[in-house]
Amino acid sequence: MNNKKYIFSIIMPIYNVDKWLEEAVDSIISQKNINFEEDRQLIFVNDCSPDSSEELCIKYQNAYKNNILYIKNKQNMGLSATRNHGLQY
């Protein structure tokens, strides 16, 4: 895990969102007036999604190794528990 201090972190619970995931992540990365690679962290928490979301998360994690953390729940926990799991990181 990276010990870098970011201005803020975004926890993104993942479950059946492969249709919208790239658009959401690209929007976060391309925000103006703040540098994604310097100032922001994105934490994906996969709640055992059965679609191709995991592959997309891993693709982004590989592209932004210092800014994106990928976590996968051992079992489906629901939205609130998944978001809380991300808070641990």
Helix ranges (H only) for 1-89 are 18-29, 36-39, 53-63, 79-87
The pLDDT tens digits of the residues spanning 36-63 come to 988 999 999 999 999 999 999 999 999 9
For the full predicted model, state whether its pTM sits above 0.85. yes
CA contacts within 13 A on the Cβ side of 65: 1
Estimate to the nearest angstrom the gap between the alpha carbon of 46 and the chain centroid: 8
Is pLDDT at 2 greater than 90 in this prediction?
no
